[in-house]
Copies of this chain bind each other. A is one copy, B any other.
Amino acid sequence: MNSLSEARVVTDPDVIDSYARDRTFLEPGKPLGVVLAASRDDVVTTMKWATEHRVPVVPRGGGTGLAGASVGTDGSVILSLARMTAIRELSPADEIAVVEPGVITADLDRAAREHGLMYAPDPSSYEISTIGGNLATNAGGLRCVKYGVTRDSTLGLEVVLADGRILNTGRRTMKGVTGYDLTGLFVGSEGTLGVITSATVRLRRAPAAPPATFAAEFGSLRDAGAAVSAIMAAGCQPSLMELLDRATLEAIDDWRNIGLEATTQAMLIGQSDAPDGQASVERMERICTDKGASFVAVSSSPEEAEELVGLRRLAYGAKERQGACLVEDVCVPRSVLPEMITAIEAAAARHGVRIATVAHAGDGNLHPVFIFEHGTLEPPAEVWAAADEVFTRALEFGGTLTGEHGVGLLKRRWLALESGPVASEVQHGIKAVFDPLGLLNPGKAI
């Protein structure tokens, strides 16, 4: 990599190892080195070199992934985009921003807020994940029940292809149908089709007032799920609707002492940021009571509300303190949320496995987290068996393997169950169009 300055290439094994891991338990292979790209040119140089020498490249943002998609493999070069952090443009009039891939998600949101706007997609990891990683996984988040996923905020991309050529996709306008939707193809492609070096994203008007917020506690997880289904079916249009089960609440309580009641089996946190948000939240509160909530309260201050939502954002960290985690990410039609929850509880019981579930419940997106002993390299057989069962049930309910985390390495074992042979063949065909030598993040996603 002649033209990359020494400072950009790291070969220290400890540093390589730290760049080779994501937030799964997966053990990385032995990558050759790390490139800390500071510009598009660095990316082009890296890809040309990789093509010339047939070296696999693993693009990497914040390394917060939960599917193993940014885990470094044997003989690969890890291409970190984390230093490309410029917000190149932010246009309040057009409600768009042009950003480099290493921008931290929450930083873009904060920059937008200065203009009365927001960047809507907010994965729980938004203080540590990057826009590039969010794009490559099509990340969801807490607000996406109302504002959609990352794809819904993406207008155009600049991508460096495997051979170093630059491809511009999409546009700066709100609409456009010139040619195939290449932008959408890259969103969620987990670094296997190209390296995103710039994105034109859509901002949205931030709500005028802080959202109205409620929290409800339930004596049964299924009841909480039924409340969510009823809230969504009643058209309350929450801007956030998160569900935490008892195991999750215990993990948080253990860490931050939230005074968890003995009888609480589940908590629901809901918000509405609509102009009639207060009325909407009161409707949601009533539905929770109807569905048997043991306690429901509307937050009395924005601070209290932020604290509640903040707890939700701690859920995964709290579980990681308790053991190694295998995180599932099934998504089911909203109406079957209670049935899916029952299926998860049954799987945990049948296989004697600890599962702590948190959910972007308004979207039907559940994260059953299988907790096993720290230090174990592979999840024990019963964890895989329970995970198998949960996923199989999700498919039976018309659901999907992954709502937002992606397939990565971790979920490839289930891929064939969801994508038929035709879809699989077509996807490999598309991969070959963009990356004929198979250098970009091989073995991931498809």
Contact = CB atoms under 8 A, between A and B. Distances in A.
A226 to B, nearest CB: 12
Interface stretch (A8-16, A54-62, A229-237, A251-259): A229-237
A442 to B, nearest CB: 15
Interface in A150-185: 151-152, 161, 165-169, 171-182, 184-185
A428 B400 CA distance: 30
A293 B221 CA distance: 57
B137 A179 contact: no
Nearest to A181: B184
A240 interface: no
A180 B189 contact: yes
Interface stretch (A43-51, A306-314, A331-339, A380-388): A331-339
Contact of A176 (B145, B331, B426): B331
A126 to B, nearest CB: 17
Contacts of A148: 152
A315 interface: no
A33 interface: no
A262 interface: no
Contacts of A152: 148, 152
A182 B335 contact: no
Given A144-B175, A179-B407, A180-B188, A426 B433 contact: yes
A404 interface: yes
B178 A420 contact: no
A79 interface: no
A243 interface: no
Contacts of A407: 177-179
B177 A406 contact: yes
A341 to B, nearest CB: 15
A275 interface: yes
Interface stretch (A19-27, A87-95, A349-357): A87-95
Interface of A: 91-96, 116, 137-138, 140, 144-145, 148-149, 151-152, 161, 165-169, 171-182, 184-185, 187-189, 193, 205, 229, 232-233, 235, 237, 274-276, 331-335, 360, 363-365, 398-407, 415, 418-420, 422-424, 426-427, 429-430, 432-434, 445-446
